[in-house]
Amino acid sequence: MITEAARAHRESLRRNLQHRLEVARAQGNDKLVRQIEAEAAYLHLM
C-alpha cells in the first residue's frame, strides 16, 4: 500500500523531472534530455 506521503513524493519527483526536461529541450541540450529521460525511465515516472 502506497501512503499519501509516498504518492505526493513521487508526484513531486515527476513534476521536477518534467520541468528539467522542458528546460533542457528549450536550451537544445540533447545530451541532458537523454539523461533526464533515462532517469525518468529508471524511476518509472514518465
Please tell me what DSSP assigns to residue 17.
H
pLDDT of amino acid 11: 95
> Three-state DSSP class for 2?
coil
Please tell me what DSSP assigns to residue 28.
T
Mean pLDDT per segment of 10 residues, for the chain of length 46 residues? 88 97 99 97 88
C-alpha cell at 32: 541532458
pTM for this one? 0.83
